[in-house]
Amino acid sequence: MRSAAALLLAAAALLLPCTRADVAAQLRLADAGDRQALRSWFVLLADAAFYQPPADVTDCAALVRYALREALRPHTPEWLRRAGLPAAPGLPDVRERPAGRDGMLPIFRVSARPDDVAEFADARTIVRWNAWRVSGDVSVARPGDLLYYRQPSQSQPDHLMIVVGASRFDRSAPDFVVYHTGPDGDDPGEIRKVRLADLLRHPAPRWRPVPSNEAFVGVFRLTSFP
């Protein structure tokens, strides 16, 4: 008889691409410098959101959407003021960004059609059509990678965490992760920032990003990143 973990991975294989070759990039940034700039801003903004939570970040997928969308913006002095960053981070902007419509950026692929794109995507859509599975081993995760959990018993079974690594705002450790807990009844949830080392020994085993945890699907990387 197959183990529960093996059955979960088999089910995940039906939902999720396994390699980068299986996924068409949702953001077609031709320039390598733009791709690196996108990753750098994405990590910075996800990290900064812990200190000044954006009003529209209400769950884990919203944190990913916010960081990716705002990473693509021109980071003007007015943008920096509104974002509440303590100082200009000195990162280059993405120079050739996708054209928006009505103020919206088409940044996520949302179906089997590569040209079916939107600014909104939930957690499962983000990993299904916009990311590829790097590994089940978190030691290979890079800043900007996503830790993906699937827990069918939860009201919101798909959960994402963003790997930050070394933080510009907290120099005490090199392995930070940020995520939004998501709403739970009347509790709107919150953005949390933890060390990966602490997550690996989380008191609830279902949140440990280890291969033996059947709820942990693996490390995923957005296809538009280098």
Q: Which residue has the tokens 């965490």?
A: 161
**Contact, 151 vs 60, CB < 8 A?**
no
The whole-number average pLDDT for the span 155-169 is: 94
Rounded-to-integer distance, Cα 163 and Cα 95, Å: 24
**Contact, 219 vs 147, CB < 8 A?**
yes
Region class of 217: left (phi > 0), else alpha (psi between -120 and 50), else beta = alpha
Rounded-to-integer distance, Cα 201 and Cα 73, Å: 37
Query: Could you tell me the two tokens for 207?
Result: 């949140």
Per-residue pLDDT for 91 more than 90? yes
pLDDT at 19: 53
**Contact, 132 vs 18, CB < 8 A?**
yes
* Number of domains making up the chain: 1
What would the pLDDT profile of 171-201 be if each residue is shown by its tens digit? 999 999 999 999 988 999 999 999 999 999 9
pLDDT at 176: 98
Cβ-count burial 81-91 (b if 16+ within 10 Å, e if not): eeeebeeeeee
Per-residue pLDDT for 10 more than 50? no
Residue type, 11: A
What would the pLDDT profile of 18-61 be if each residue is shown by its tens digit? 455 455 555 678 889 999 999 999 999 999 999 999 999 999 99
The whole-number average pLDDT for the span 151-174 is: 93
Residue 138's domain comprises: 4-222
pTM of the model: 0.89
The pLDDT mean for the chain works out to 88
SS3 of 99-162: CCECCECCCEECCCCCCCEECCCCHHHHHHHHEEEEECCHHHCCCCCEEEEECCCCCCCEEEEE
pLDDT at 16: 54
